[in-house]
Amino acid sequence: MPEQSKPSTPTSFQPNAGSIANFFRPNRAAPNIGNALVLSSFTGLAPVDSQSIARLTSALESSSDATGMGLGQVMLALRILSSVGDGMAPFPALKGIAGIGLEIMNVIVNFQSNGDAMRALALRIYEMIRTINEGSQNGSNESLRTLTDQFERDLCKILNIVKDMASQNIGHQVIRAEVIKAKLIDCTKLLDQYTDKFQVALGINQQQILVRQQENLSRQQESVDKIVAMLEKHTLSTPVNNLLISAIAPAPPMHFVGRDDLVLEGISHITDANLTSSAHIAILGHGGIGKTSLALAILHHDMSKAAFSGRRFFIPCEYLKTGLDLAQAIIHILGGSMLGQESDGLTVLRQQLSNFGEMLLVIDNFETLWHESTSLAQIKVALETIMSVSSVSVIVTMRGFEPPSGFNWSLILPPQGLGPLSLDAAKHMYMRGQYMVPESFEWNRDLELLLTETDCVPLAISLLSALAHSDPRVYTPTRLLQRWTKTKTNLLKIPGVQSNKMASVAISIDVSLHSKAIAENPDTLILLQILAFLPEGLPYWDELVEYIIPDTRIEDPFGTVEILCQTSLIFKADNNSLALLSPTRHYINQQSLVEKSQFNNDIQQIYNFVQLCIANGMENLIKFGVANITQVIEHFLVLHPTTENVQTALHCSEVLFQHAQYMSNLMNTITNMAEKLNIPQLLVKCVVHQRDILMALNMWMDAEQKSQLGYILYQKLGDNAGMAECLHNIGHNMKMQSKYSEAIEMHTLAYEIYIKLGKLKQTANSLKAIGNNLWVLHKHEQAIEKLTEALTIYTQLKDLNGMGHCMKGIGNNLRAEKNYSEAIKMHTAAYNYYYQKKNKEGMAGALNCLGDDFRMIQEYEKAAEKHTEAYNIFKEINNTLGLAASLDSHGDTLRLQGDYAKAAIKHEEAYKIFVKYQYWHGIGNSLNSMGDNYKEQKKYPEAKEKYQAAYDIFKSLDNKSKMEKCDENLKEIAQYIYN
């Protein structure tokens, strides 16, 4: 059987004399000679051919560092990259970055002051480009491309800083040497952030990139009998993430001061070997006090990197509403998916966290979930699930001074809640926001009074510093203090408003809102109000902003964005999104920056954008984000709660469902409105759609309850077909909860209604479902009887797929009764029906069954042949899970042939695939087969380990029959271990 092809790994390039690669490695023996050779022989080299650029990228990849390189070598490397033809660089953005880097080098070469620091910056930039090159060799995913685009923009900022410093005469350079040095340090820190980001991105997405290259991330799988019924009802395509949460944590705070002691305390606690369990840290305090910054400083500290490497993650809670949202967000950043799973979201979350190993997880702004959600019980269960996994260290940031109750918090950091900065630290933060060395700034009384007035709250200082940096001549400390005092006086006139740290944040935001830049550009208020309204901000803003805000409303949206960024009221986050800090968002949403009627018109425009996407194309809508879509539609429905609009909203959710975008929170609102409108037909459609979403999310118990409600509603309407359909779904949901006898009862009731209605296909579907449940209960004769009845009807309907399903099921039951020859006949017939229908999925499944049949009669060569054929088909159609099942079956055959080494290889390959997709039934089966393989070799301790692991997985899945099998094996080998 052909082995699964492995991804090609670039071999280490071995340069020949005269190869271009030599000129990109440091000449450690005589660096100056190397530079002279480069400059004299290759200064005019450009453009180059594709063979040369291939050698170049190989050299970039294989050079371990740039510390021994001269600027001449660096400039040559960048010159070649920046001048190659289109399509010749590993990816287009690298060419532009190299051009900017080369321009920076040209400036640095002629710079007189801080020569060593300048050279270090140059080599640091080269090192970053090499890192990006390595990350793009096997293809660049969306996160890497987004990071690269952000890096290119920030590299332009560094270029401007370097040009500004170089434009000064030598005398000024000498006088301002310390200021220049500080700016260079900030530039280096900015580059360090990107190194961090790329390392995390590569660590998280490495397996995902490999899967995309080999298998195009085909997550569809129909090979597991237990989810066939569900897949017949839902076409599940590869999902785009419901929540636009990046697997890459935000960068560490740029201007973090005054809290190094807390950072070290937090890290020491997390890495304390004496802890009896993993660390559970709560960081509490007012909004804007710096909770998120402290958490990020801990997350990105060198000690955290050493302890957790790339297993450090960040979850923002601003637009999460339920415990399931939180579970899905974590599953997503760990590279997993709910697709193809049979367990509910919280079970999958626990399994995925347990399987991932030691990790550090920051859950930010948890108060959004804890205080604002309507499903607090579910959120408690989600947090309990996370904190129950011993390998997961958790940091929760939360507004207020009481952590979530009922949990064992190992550290409140600090115990009294996070307080303000010291005055000296506030001064340093204010100066760093303007890229100034604090010691070089003349301290004055007004600045001291201003910082004292802010209560030294970090967010307030940051906003004021950004204003001062935007126009230092206008926003001097004296003028800022005057404006602050005036704003504070007006604010405190409002009843109920007190002078405290939250008021300091509000005043700072208000001062920014009345700044010169905002006053001269009133469009900024329009955009700011919209961005604050959208819980996810504006993802992919440079692509979407012109769709949701017409130029008749905001003339220059791109310029408006830049002005708001300069004030620090908004910032550009990952996924190329525009976002606001949580305190800023809360404050803006309490204001009326634009007239209410006009704001409603703005939301109407976004609502129209949603409807246009539904009609003409989903790509932009999916980028917009589920939470944003929900917010916009809910707002529109509150303003216009008509039957037509509720129907339109339901249709929107149904269309998004076909793209694996599950609008569960929106559907709660829509269903409640349908109930208030007292339209039973619309209400039952909403309930049934909610059930379909719950089934797609594997929430079988909740889906069962919705099906029961649907049955009652259909019964009131006298809709027998609807009642039968709900009974059928209740049966399916019961089966997925291992309630097989109850499932048979429900399918029998559905069958009785369908047969009276004369609906033949639905009748056959019910019989098939009954037969499949009887097979699980080992009632093989009864199962064959029901499947045969279903087969008769499918034959009458000439439904080849239905006939194939029944033949395969009958064959499985015959094999269980050891009637192998008849089983082979049935599985062969099933294959032929699938072949006529060109159903390759079915063909591969039938071939797998035939392989198992032949294995049972010890015709191992035929068994291997069938499993190999199944493997090849699954590989052809990119059904990775089916492919893994074939590997496992082939391994079982090899074991029976006594070829234990090859069997182990097959099981290991299957196991790795199942783990990659987090398919727990498959993982359990592979572990069980590994146990069988060890048992046959009398390696009982190893067998025990595998059986026990398989047992634990089947127990978590509540698969009693598989648990019993593992338990029997454990009891059998126990006598050999203990005797």
Identify the CATH number of the domain in which residue 331 sits: 3.40.50.300
| Confidence label for 238 from pLDDT (cuts 50, 70 and 90) | very low
Q: Tell me which residue of 370, 377, 413, 372 sits closest to 394, measured CA to CA.
A: 413
Query: Could you tell me if residue 326 is inside a domain?
Result: yes
| pLDDT beyond 50 at 177 | yes
Query: Could you tell me if residue 122 is inside a domain?
Result: yes
* Across 20-24, average pLDDT: 28
Please tell me which residue, 21 or 675, carries the higher pLDDT value: 675
| pLDDT beyond 80 at 221 | no
Question: Is residue 525 located within the same domain as residue 513?
Answer: no
**524 CB-side CA count, 13 A:** 23
* Across 491-514, average pLDDT: 70
Question: Is residue 166 located within the same domain as residue 268?
Answer: no
Decide: helix, strand or coil at residue 400. Answer: strand
Question: Is residue 114 located within the same domain as residue 65?
Answer: yes
| pLDDT beyond 90 at 833 | yes
Question: Is residue 40 located within the same domain as residue 185?
Answer: yes
Q: Mark which of 143, 178, 209 sits at the end of a domain.
A: 209
Query: Could you tell me if residue 573 is inside a domain?
Result: yes
- The identity of residue 321, as a single letter, is K
How far from 477 is each of 113, 183, 502, 632, 743, CA to CA, in Å? Answer: 30, 22, 21, 41, 73
Query: 49: alpha, beta or left, given left = phi > 0 and alpha = psi -120 to 50?
Result: beta
Question: Is residue 372 located within the same domain as residue 277?
Answer: yes
Question: Is residue 325 located within the same domain as residue 428?
Answer: no
β-strand pairing of 392-399 with 411-412: unpaired
| pLDDT tens track for 298-316 | 999 999 999 998 889 998 8
If one counts the domains in the chain, the total is 4
| pLDDT beyond 80 at 11 | no
Please tell me which residue, 552 or 631, carries the higher pLDDT value: 631
Q: Mark which of 160, 194, 209 sits at the end of a domain.
A: 209
Q: Mark which of 518, 537, 571 sits at the end of a domain.
A: 518
**How far is residue 955's CA from residue 34's CA, in Å, rounded to a whole number?**
65
Give the mean pLDDT of the chain. 79
- The identity of residue 374, as a single letter, is T
What pLDDT shows up at residue 603? 93
| pLDDT beyond 90 at 879 | no
What pLDDT shows up at residue 495? 55
Question: Is residue 554 located within the same domain as residue 449?
Answer: no
Q: What b/e readout covers 657-677, taking b as 16+ CB neighbours within 10 angstroms?
A: beebbbbbbbbbbbbebbeee
Global pTM reads: 0.61
Query: Could you tell me if residue 223 is inside a domain?
Result: no
Question: Is residue 81 located within the same domain as residue 181?
Answer: yes
Question: Is residue 288 located within the same domain as residue 396?
Answer: yes
Contacts of 22 (CB under 8 A, 6+ apart): 15, 59
Question: Is residue 150 located within the same domain as residue 92?
Answer: yes
Contacts of 184 (CB under 8 A, 6+ apart): 114, 117, 118, 121
Contacts of 834 (CB under 8 A, 6+ apart): 800, 801, 804, 840, 841, 842, 843, 845, 846
Question: Is residue 482 located within the same domain as residue 535?
Answer: no
Please tell me which residue, 28 or 615, carries the higher pLDDT value: 615
| pLDDT tens track for 935-951 | 999 999 999 999 999 99
Query: Could you tell me if residue 105 is inside a domain?
Result: yes
Query: Could you tell me if residue 320 is inside a domain?
Result: yes
What pLDDT shows up at residue 645? 92
Please tell me which residue, 213 or 246, carries the higher pLDDT value: 246
Query: Could you tell me if residue 928 is inside a domain?
Result: no
**Full domain range(s) for residue 498:** 423-518
Query: Could you tell me if residue 150 is inside a domain?
Result: yes
Question: Is residue 485 located within the same domain as residue 559?
Answer: no
Element (H, E) at 821: helix 820-836
